[in-house]
Amino acid sequence: MTKIYRNLFQLVILLFMNSQIITASNLTHFSGEEKSTQPFSIIKGKITDEKNEPIVSANIKIKGTSRGAITDVNGEFSLDVNEGDVLLISAIGLTSSEVLVSKDMLTKGNLNINLKHSNTALDEVVVSIGYGSGKKSEMTGSSAKIKGTEIINIPTLTATQAMQGKAAGVQIINSGAPGSAPNIRIRGTGSILGGVDPLYVVDGIITDDIRNINNSDILSMDILKDAASTAIYGVRGANGVVIITTKGGRKGKTQITYDAYYGVKRMVNKVEMAKPNLFTNYSNEAAGTTAIKPTDVTGATDWMDAITRMGSIQSHALSVSGGSDKSTFFFSANYLKEEGILKGNDYQRVSVRSNNDYQLTNKLKVGNTFSYSNYVSNNKPFSLFTEAYNAAPIYNAKNPDGSYGSTTTSNVGNPLAKLELTNDRNIGHRLQGSVFGEYTILKGLSFKTSFAADAGFNNTVNYNPVFFVSPDQKNTRSSLSLTRDNGYHWVWDNYFSYVIQKGKHDLKLTLGHTAERFDGGWMSASKKDIPAQEQYWNFSFGDPLSIAVSSGSQDNYGRRESYFARGLYNFGGKYFVSATIRRDGASKFPVQNRWGNFPSIGLGWNILKEDFMKNITSLSQLKLRASYGLIGNDNITPGQFVTQFSSGLNSVFGNTIYSGAIPNQIIDPNLKWEINKEFNVGLEFGLFDNALTGEVELYNKKTENALYLVSLPGVAGDVDNVYTTNAATIQNKGLELSLAHQHTVSKDFSFRLRGNITFNQNTVLDVGQGGALDYGGLDNGYTCTRVIQGQPIGVFWIYQTNGIFQSDAEVSAYPHIVSAKAGDKKIVDTNGDGKIDDKDRIYAGSYQPKCYYGMSFSFYYKAFDLAMDVIGNAGNKVFNGKKTVRYGGNYNVEYDVATNRWTPNNHTNDNPRAYNGVPLPTDYFLESGAFVRINNLTLGYTLPKVISNKYKVGRLRVYAASQNLYTYKKFTGYTPELPGAPYDSGIEKHIYPTSATYMIGVNVEF
Amino acid sequence: MKKNSKYISIILLCLGIVSGTLFSACKKGFLDEKVRNQTPNDFFSNPEAPFQLVTAVYNQLYEWQQHSFSWIGVTSIASDDAEKGSDPGDTGTDKDQLDKFTFGPSSLSFNELWVSNFTGIAKANQALYYLPQLANVDPSYALEVKFLRAYYYFNLVRMFGGVPKVEKSIVTQEDIAKANSRASKEEIYAFIEQDLNEAMNGLPALRSPDEYGRATKGAAQALLAKVYLYQKKWAMAKMMADNIINSGQYTLLSDYSKIWKESGEFSSESIWEVNCKGSDPNKGITGYFVVQAPRGAGGLGWGFNTPSLDLYNTYEVGDVRRDATIMKKGQTLWDGYTVNTTAPNERYNYKSYISKTLETFNGNDDQTTKNLRISRLGEIYLIKAEAELEIGDTANAKAALNVIRNRAGLANTTAITIEEIRDAIYHERRVEMAFEHDRMFDLMRTGRAGATLRKLGIPFVDGKHELFPIPQRQIDMSAGKLTQNPGY
């Protein structure tokens, strides 16, 4: 059946292509003749608004072609046109207009067009939809658009970090670490073991890492959320798609922009630890003896202060763009440097870009995008934050003689020594680019081919010197490890676009094919006894016997081939139908499961255009839409369906290690991708001439065939006692609401308020034959999260407590663990079986918020602009994991925990008695993850034109801003934003604390 | 210019056709990406393949789950030889339960040991499946594998009684379902004996030093002797013990304290050890040393499995084995290392100690040079003594017993009656083999566990605790086909 279908599909495509070749070649011929008799001419024009103010960046396009122009700062443009061409003129915030090119115009060679201001802003928004673009008003699926201008002044490495709180249904979980990418969840977490991050499409290049992209280069980001929108990306659309379009040049005067900022970063939410006296008291009370003697206290160190500093961030972005009738260009360069709050931890990136378009003939356009970026990242282990939390405060970080301090009473090494002795650096290069050609075969029909490639090269240098801090913290032989890895990816898209307009019928068709390949490998070597000086960190030195080499393939290698088709139809702008289908083949699946089809359908109804709505004047916009589609998630490790020999199962005979290998994994030879079935319904509305606009969306996304680890009994002899199979069903359902209000109070004062909120409910509906999976290891022998039917993915699975045992009598009267004493947390025997064990654990909420929201406020008064972004989430829990690890009485303890601890004289119910053991994972460590944050506050001032023009500057704006200025939270740890895997996020353990940034910046345009 | 553009247009369209036809025409080729890990076909072409299979079966011996924390807990902490150790609140997951006999089917250690031994068995079955498919295979390889399979089964039958009998490699879900029900204890013992008999008859008696760690005829005989002892097949046990003793291949070390030191590795007394390497690149039994090393400030490890006062006091005056087995808080050890005086426990296991200064140590606490002595001549004498006694030859029994006593610096036994001699042999096994993963099974096998442990306040229940519980997790996954041992 599928085979027949597949063949049919190919046949259609081939027929389509071949027939077009004939037509196309004829046409090319014709067009040549056409030119000789009726040369097309250059028309110059100016676009203005009602007040005759020039409109900058208005878009002029010849209907049915890809040709067009964009107005310059004076509102002027020029364009090659033929008589009879229809110019489509549009600009943001203005009513679009169509102008027929008359003979008269051509002879005059001049055209002045007046556009009216419009509040129907939504109408004008052009959205990227994958292999093309369209008006938002014609769409039946759910997507969000974020313009480059909204993120340009936010001091983050990637654009995704900057879009936090700006779109409904998009949750961004940031880490404070320089060089890190955030977790992004579009409409919840749709997989347990597969990938959960969205797909990025940067100018047609499919990638999962956009850290090479300079934020200033981004024109816009379109976030495709529902299945109807993402089905065009088929087997990779399941987690949503972020389409990033980088800037191109514009016809007209050459524009130069310079955007720069500098800021300092300060650690916020420091956790106060016990000072030496309190620590000693606490530890000795817990030990019941004087384990730490007064003579052991040789100093007083606040370890968090010792390893942290005031960080900084700076960025300088320069771009030059412009163009003529035949070509446009865009060049940019960016330098970004971030110094983290952890000493010695920094990240810097240099990136350059060149995007160029050439209109070779009126039918043929070619172009390229190209970017190169280089980064250097100096890394320090994040575990240092936990070690600084744990380290005993009773000795000096550094002694007066410069040596590192140490203590015999602690088995946490000196964190400062570890920090300073870590030499770990990544240096990487990335090249990303594409070339494309677009040919207009006949009016309305065009063909585009695009070849894009992405290559990355990374070097890692890790040097461990010889050192002696204490008998437990030493290294007697230096070692150097060098790693080289590279990866490449190419994708080749070919597709036809066809636009037909007849009367009220409007149909757009897209039909295409794409193929891609990705591959790469790594090689790593290490050697001992390398000299400490950095210039000797190569393998010419060192002990030749100690060399060890390993190599491997990139995890994600493979090939894909796909066919796709899309139809967008509307009748009079009133009724909309869209349908897409993608047929995907992926090499990573067994032959019988290699191909899959991913269809979607969407319907839209512009209610306001109905006659019966005519009299309702307060409504300026009302559109209802619904969609349904299937999309896939193939983001899993390749080759899991083949019996493999696991190597590294070594043994020693004599004095030699022999390598052993044997199949030790039960495999599922029938593995498939995960399938999402998503239903979406949305309502877009505008009130009072669009002074208030909004969108409400309801979605229900069901992931079927989700990968799951089904437990295997011991007799199977499987190395990890589980096998990966398509067993689970996960549901994410939710509600998104976005509202925007804009108001121009007077010529001098206007403001805009926007807000969005998303409610998402995540549930594991079914796990097939699989049982519960335990995750969230706390490094103390216990786990705290689970994946189990009926609960959200990664639900906290912990013991419940009910105050504190106030006396030993109370302990013996109630079920308790062996070591329980007065002053311990009273763990509830929830199942009433008279003993405390795993069966008493409860499901205590999830790291996934019940809702998350963002608000932004913008005020414009004369030359001043003030903007504030607020983000937050509610209804989630976080686990204070670092607090649960306290071995043997020499780990430090939080000031509050120590001072307010239970003692025979202090009958509190909050903090237990002084205790040196390993506590059970109880709700004592579970805290609210809710927070509200002033994410961004910016005050800007634009120099009046009269002044700036005097200095030949088009526009000059200076601003001061703060990122993460204030967070209101209940959590007592460093940060409630805790990225992680789907099954064990929300645990604060080895986390990089978030920091606040205070910065000044400038935007200049020449 | 214009002309060029025309060509470009044509090229573009051709590209369209190429992409459309090329990929569909050779689509199978394009998506046919080879899996990069070693699959059976790739593996067979490797000349090292046969020995790699055998090595992988041995590899299970080094696993944390096989011979480390859980094994220590079940064989030692549960017995009267040792306490849990460490800090009072540090449960070691379930070691407190093993220590106090409050464990149940959900206690983690049983599941770890169940799974690990069955993983060893599965590896053995895989090796036995693939070895005949390979060319030029040394026929003794299959016998080594069978020897190891017998060892893994012996561990299982001692802990749980009858367990599933898995003879073939498991590939599909159906194989698993079919395999996962219990055979009788007798069937398992018969299977063990069959494997060991085959191994004994085909394995080489001697191994060159560069093969140390691999199974020998003697290793199979020693294990078989013990397997017979557990089944009370006295004559067979005696015969096996005699075979080893009379082979003249093994002699007792005169210095008992040397047996567990690095200098005593593969000594004249040694019959089979798990061979560990403490120099780069190292490979040891994961965590074996660090779990048991002295705890606390300036300590070396976690301080579990601490010798009980009962064990300490059970040594006769002048028995050299006490101080070779037990180290005390504050004591300066043979290599000059002093156990810290603030350590939370009074005594620690000396046999698992490695000297970081005078033995091979590369800084890796987790994978040390400490070899696990599984069979040695000392025990063979005690098997002989017990078997002789039960056959009725008290003189021979006492003679064998005295060999061991004399080596430990003690005079001949004064036991006279059969009961006295039996007690003396059991006592001798305890002190000779303390911390050698034997004591708990000895108590269970001889029916003395209840009386012995209850005397120490351990709530041992007769009719229940002679076997450990089948792990609940395994019962749950068998759809009820695995039955629980009585009393749990």
* Structure confidence at residue B28 (pLDDT): 55
Smallest CA–CA distance, residue A403 to chain B, in Å, is: 20
Cis peptide bond N-terminal to B281, omega within 30: yes
Query: Is pLDDT of A33 > 80?
Result: no
A627 lies in some domain: no
Q: Are strands A692-711 and A995-1005 parallel, antiparallel or unpaired?
A: unpaired
- The model's pLDDT over A872-910, given as tens digits with 9 standing for 90+, comes to 999 999 999 888 887 656 788 999 999 999 999 988 888
Looking at the fold, whether A164 and A187 belong to one and the same domain comes out as: yes
A358 lies in some domain: no
A199 lies in some domain: yes
Query: Is pLDDT of B17 > 80?
Result: no
Query: Is pLDDT of A670 > 60?
Result: yes
Looking at the fold, whether A6 and A106 belong to one and the same domain comes out as: yes
CA distance B250 to B244: 8
- The model's pLDDT over A421-451, given as tens digits with 9 standing for 90+, comes to 999 999 999 999 999 999 998 888 999 999 9
A901/A61: higher pLDDT: A901
- Non-local CB neighbours of A902 within 8 Å, separated by 6+ positions: A804, A823, A908, A911, A912, A913
Distances in Å between the Cα of A130 and the Cα atoms of A168, A213, A564 are 20, 19, 11
Looking at the fold, whether A139 and A56 belong to one and the same domain comes out as: no
Confidence of residue A37 (pLDDT cuts 50, 70, 90): very low
Task: Give chain B positions within 8 Å (CB) of A368.
Answer: none
A139 lies in some domain: yes
Closest-CA residue in chain A for B39? A644
- The position carrying tokens 């008279």 is A834
* Structure confidence at residue B208 (pLDDT): 95
Query: Which of B53, B89, B93 has the CB atom closest to A662's CB atom?
Result: B53
Looking at the fold, whether A156 and A246 belong to one and the same domain comes out as: yes
Mean pLDDT of the region B112-139: 94
Asked if A927 contacts A971 with a C-beta cutoff of 8 angstroms, the reply is yes
Looking at the fold, whether A171 and A89 belong to one and the same domain comes out as: no
For B249-393, where are the alpha helices, taking DSSP H only? 288-292, 309-314, 321-325, 377-391
Query: Which of A553, A653, A721 has the CB atom closest to B214's CB atom?
Result: A653
Q: For chain A, what is the domain count?
A: 3
CA distance A387 to B173: 45
Looking at the fold, whether A103 and A147 belong to one and the same domain comes out as: no
For B348-448, where are the alpha helices, taking DSSP H only? 377-391, 394-407, 418-432, 439-445
CA distance A205 to A246: 12
- The model's pLDDT over B312-352, given as tens digits with 9 standing for 90+, comes to 999 999 999 999 999 999 999 999 999 988 888 999 999 99
Q: Do A28 and B6 touch (CB under 8 A)?
A: yes
A272 lies in some domain: no
- The position carrying tokens 């420091």 is A270
Asked if A505 contacts B20 with a C-beta cutoff of 8 angstroms, the reply is no
Query: Is pLDDT of A949 > 80?
Result: no
Query: Which of A587, A655, A660 has the CB atom closest to B277's CB atom?
Result: A655
Q: Do B170 and A20 touch (CB under 8 A)?
A: no
The DSSP symbol for B294 reads P
CA distance A150 to A163: 8
Closest-CA residue in chain A for B471? A714
- The model's pLDDT over B265-277, given as tens digits with 9 standing for 90+, comes to 999 999 999 999 9
A154 lies in some domain: yes
A510: helix, strand or coil = strand
* Structure confidence at residue A19 (pLDDT): 38
User: Which pair of tokens denotes residue A818?
Assistant: 């062996």
- Non-local CB neighbours of A255 within 8 Å, separated by 6+ positions: A73, A319, A320, A321, A322, A954, A1005, A1006
Query: Is pLDDT of B22 > 70?
Result: no
Looking at the fold, whether A94 and A108 belong to one and the same domain comes out as: yes
Mutation target for A interface from B28, B42, B60, B87: give the one with most A CBs within 10 A. Answer: B87
Q: Give the residue numbers spanning the domain of A833.
A: 801-840
Looking at the fold, whether A102 and A201 belong to one and the same domain comes out as: no
Q: Which of A221, A250, A279 delimits the end of a domain?
A: A250
Asked if A263 contacts A997 with a C-beta cutoff of 8 angstroms, the reply is yes
Q: Which of A250, A268, A287 delimits the end of a domain?
A: A250
Q: Do A10 and B24 touch (CB under 8 A)?
A: yes
Options 1.25.40.390, 1.10.3720.10, 1.10.3210.10, 2.170.190.11; CATH of B48-203+447-488: 1.25.40.390
CA angle A629, A634, A640 (to 5 degrees): 145
Mutation target for B interface from A296, A642, A651, A818: give the one with most B CBs within 10 A. Answer: A651
Task: Give chain B positions within 8 Å (CB) of A18.
Answer: 17
Looking at the fold, whether A31 and A69 belong to one and the same domain comes out as: yes
* Structure confidence at residue A124 (pLDDT): 64
* Structure confidence at residue A120 (pLDDT): 46
CA distance A227 to B138: 59
CA distance A127 to A400: 63
Range among A206-210, A604-608, A943-947 rated most confident: A604-608
A486 lies in some domain: no
CA distance B88 to A889: 12
Closest-CA residue in chain A for B112? A714
Looking at the fold, whether A154 and A78 belong to one and the same domain comes out as: no
A460 lies in some domain: no
Looking at the fold, whether A28 and A109 belong to one and the same domain comes out as: yes
User: Which pair of tokens denotes residue B306?
Assistant: 């601490």
B17: helix, strand or coil = helix
CA distance B325 to B334: 12
- Cβ-Cβ pairs closer than 8 A, A with B, add up to 271
- The model's pLDDT over A736-754, given as tens digits with 9 standing for 90+, comes to 999 999 888 888 888 999 9
Q: Which of A204, A235, A250 delimits the end of a domain?
A: A250
- The position carrying tokens 């040097």 is A463
The CATH number assigned to the domain holding A86 equals 2.60.40.1120
ipTM for the predicted complex:
0.93
Smallest CA–CA distance, residue A798 to chain B, in Å, is: 15
Closest-CA residue in chain B for A715? B118
Query: Which of B13, B30, B59 has the CB atom closest to A447's CB atom?
Result: B13
- Non-local CB neighbours of A345 within 8 Å, separated by 6+ positions: A177, A178, A339, A378, A379, A380
Asked if A588 contacts A639 with a C-beta cutoff of 8 angstroms, the reply is yes
- The model's pLDDT over B218-263, given as tens digits with 9 standing for 90+, comes to 999 999 999 999 999 999 999 999 999 999 999 999 999 999 999 9
Asked if A447 contacts A441 with a C-beta cutoff of 8 angstroms, the reply is yes
* Structure confidence at residue A11 (pLDDT): 41
Q: Which amino acid is at A171?
A: Q
Domain boundaries in chain B?
Answer: 48-203+447-488
Sequential DSSP letters for A611-672: GGGTT--SEEEEEEEEEEEEEEE--S-TTTTS---EE---EEETTEEEP-EE------TT--
- The model's pLDDT over A754-796, given as tens digits with 9 standing for 90+, comes to 999 999 999 999 988 888 888 888 887 788 999 999 999 999 9
Q: Do B27 and A837 touch (CB under 8 A)?
A: no
Looking at the fold, whether A61 and A83 belong to one and the same domain comes out as: yes
CA distance A123 to B337: 81
Output the average pLDDT for chain B. 91
